[in-house]
């Protein structure tokens, strides 16, 4: 372990020159395992310029050839899945099995776009305007796109943004979370090893959040994609708007899951618990609030507690990303309990497992009798906390689910699938709604939300089209 005193001593000369030394702390052990020095202004500008040159070459390649050139990256990711999983585990505490599954999902995304991407980018013919021979729409790339990504899915968030964006003909520069600089540089290395890609088409910027505006102001950068908090998303979208540059922002969620009286309670509890503790609850689309009809609430609570007891540390959940995150979530649990909610499982006083320092560990927690006005109902808890709220009937459950500033994901549990589809389609205020399972992302379906959960979509055809010039061509 690198002592704090020696780290500060080493950082002083660099800080004096405008750089920063960023220690990487393992959330399980609490130890510093690596340090990175941030890039200076000239280095950042040089990287953006090199990516812009790569874009100039890449944009002239046909969509079919671009897609084919990126396809081999899937096997490169599979070949380094164990290495990447171990790194993610060190950086942000994700259990190794989940981290490896994340990398394999990234490879699957590339396979999916390799099969479908070229078709999405084909020109779309339209009836010619009167007096014209041909009218069509073509989809042309914009330039260098800045990607600002979070720590909770260090590979998946980057790949799902960058692959379709690069296949569409753009270049990408990545500003990753400060605890995931290692992942960003490994991704840069993997992109750089794809034989058919121009050098510097994808680059990582080891910079702090305060440098994002300067990068976005660079004339070569034509848009930004950010996944993060609603507060930061507003700032980034406002900055991009002031520059008239495209912005896609995927923000927070406090997903409401409706469990109706006719639901399969065993299946509902299994889905809710699995979805909530995935990645130790640090998932924007996990079921944070569960609205349960009064007549089945007690039975559902029992099944939730039983399901939670089957989950194990190191496989299903791990430590949180850092001690600050743990303290924040613990404070939200306490505030909710102080307001009258009851603790069914876990809690802030549950001990850390053997081998975990406890600095960042928070046991998966279930709270019930959570009501509007309580922290766990009104705010997003980004940690392994499940809040159960009693609903009088179906209409009340839907109303409570929608009583949120967010609108990312939602779910409905009912044995009447026609009713479930109707509620999901017409009543739930969310960008995604699943019937009888927890929400998850897939490359084949658009991902994004409404209300304060963001602007734009990722994945599928819609994600590929976010950073293109939808260009009308008419020939006389």
Reply yes or no on whether the pLDDT at 17 is more than 60. no
Residues 246 and 267 in one domain: no
Residues 160 and 244 in one domain: yes
Count of alpha carbons within 13 angstroms of residue 374, beta-carbon side: 24
The band of 466, judged by pLDDT with boundaries at 50, 70 and 90, is: very high
Distances (CA, A) of 404 to 157, 238, 378: 25, 23, 7
Residues 49 and 144 in one domain: yes
The band of 18, judged by pLDDT with boundaries at 50, 70 and 90, is: low
* Residues forming a β-bridge with 430: none
Reply yes or no on whether the pLDDT at 425 is more than 50. yes
Q: What confidence score (pLDDT) does residue 10 get?
A: 43
CATH of the domain at 38: 3.40.605.10
In angstroms, rounded to a whole number, what is the distance separating the alpha carbons of residues 166 and 148? Answer: 15
322 and 25 Cβ atoms separated by less than 8 Å: yes
Reply yes or no on whether the pLDDT at 427 is more than 70. yes
Q: What is the mean pLDDT of the chain?
A: 96
Q: What confidence score (pLDDT) does residue 465 get?
A: 98
Residues 178 and 293 in one domain: no
CATH of the domain at 329: 3.40.309.10
Containing domain of residue 194, as a range? 20-251+453-475
> At how many degrees (to 10) do helices 156-167 and 63-70 cross?
150
Q: What are the start-end ranges of the E strands in 7-66?
A: 21-25, 32-37
Q: How many domains does the chain have?
A: 2
Residues 363 and 281 in one domain: yes
Residues 181 and 285 in one domain: no
The band of 7, judged by pLDDT with boundaries at 50, 70 and 90, is: very low
Reply yes or no on whether the pLDDT at 22 is more than 50. yes
Q: What are the start-end ranges of the E strands in 383-428?
A: 385-391, 406-407, 409-413
pLDDT in tens, 294-337: 999 999 999 999 999 999 999 999 999 999 999 999 999 999 99
Average pLDDT of 129-133?
97
Residues 370 and 245 in one domain: no
The answer as to whether 1 is a domain residue is no
Average pLDDT of 417-446?
98
The answer as to whether 14 is a domain residue is no
Q: What confidence score (pLDDT) does residue 8 get?
A: 42
Catalytic sites, residue numbers: 250, 284
Residues 310 and 425 in one domain: yes
The band of 19, judged by pLDDT with boundaries at 50, 70 and 90, is: confident
Farthest-apart Cα atoms in the chain, separation: 78
Residues 235 and 261 in one domain: no
pLDDT in tens, 229-283: 999 999 999 999 999 999 999 999 999 999 999 999 999 999 999 999 999 999 9
* Residues forming a β-bridge with 345: 366
């Amino acid at each position: 372990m690198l002592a704090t005193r020696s780290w500060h001593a080493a950082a002083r000369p660099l800080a004096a020159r405008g750089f920063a030394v960023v220690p990487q702390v393992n959330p399980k052990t609490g130890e510093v395992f690596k340090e990175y020095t941030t890039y200076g202004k000239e280095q950042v500008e040089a990287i953006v310029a090199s990516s812009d040159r790569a874009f100039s070459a890449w944009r002239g390649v046909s969509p079919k050839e671009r897609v084919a050139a990126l396809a081999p990256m899937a096997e490169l990711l599979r070949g380094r899945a164990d290495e990447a999983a171990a790194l993610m585990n060190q950086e942000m505490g994700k259990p190794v099995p989940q981290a490896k599954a994340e990398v394999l999902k990234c490879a699957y995304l590339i396979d999916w776009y390799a099969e479908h991407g070229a078709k999405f980018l084909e020109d779309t013919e339209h009836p010619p305007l009167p007096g014209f021979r041909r009218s069509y729409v073509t989809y042309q790339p914009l330039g260098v796109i800045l990607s600002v990504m979070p720590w909770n899915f260090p590979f998946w968030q980057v790949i799902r943004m960058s692959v379709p964006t690069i296949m569409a003909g753009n270049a990408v520069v990545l500003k990753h979370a400060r605890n995931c600089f290692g992942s960003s540089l490994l991704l840069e290395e993997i992109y750089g090893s794809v034989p058919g890609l121009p050098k510097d088409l994808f680059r990582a910027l080891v910079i702090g959040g305060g440098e994002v505006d300067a990068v976005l102001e660079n004339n070569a950068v034509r848009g930004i994609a950010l996944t993060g908090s609603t507060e930061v998303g507003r700032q980034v979208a406002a900055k991009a708007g002031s520059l008239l540059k495209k912005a896609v922002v995927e923000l927070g969620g406090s997903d409401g899951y409706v469990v109706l009286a006719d639901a399969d309670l065993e299946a509902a509890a299994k889905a809710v618990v699995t979805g909530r503790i995935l990645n130790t609850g640090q998932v924007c689309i996990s079921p944070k609030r569960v609205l349960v009809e009064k007549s089945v609430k007690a039975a559902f609570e029992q099944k939730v507690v039983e399901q939670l007891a089957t989950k194990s540390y190191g496989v299903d959940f791990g430590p949180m990303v850092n001690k600050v995150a743990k303290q924040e979530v613990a404070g939200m649990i306490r505030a909710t309990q102080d307001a009258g909610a009851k603790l069914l499982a876990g809690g802030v006083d549950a001990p850390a497992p053997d081998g975990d320092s406890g600095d960042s560990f928070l046991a998966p927690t279930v709270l019930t009798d959570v009501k509007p006005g309580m922290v766990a109902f009104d705010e997003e808890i980004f940690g392994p906390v499940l809040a159960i709220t009693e609903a009088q009937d179906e209409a009340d459950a839907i109303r409570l689910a929608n009583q949120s500033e967010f609108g990312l994901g939602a779910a409905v549990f009912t044995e009447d699938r026609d009713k479930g589809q109707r509620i999901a389609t017409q009543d739930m205020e969310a960008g995604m709604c699943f019937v009888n399972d927890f929400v998850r992302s897939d490359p084949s379906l658009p991902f994004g939300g409404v209300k304060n959960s963001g602007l734009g979509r990722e994945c599928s055809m819609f994600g590929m089209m976010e950073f293109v010039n939808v260009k009308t061509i008419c020939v006389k």
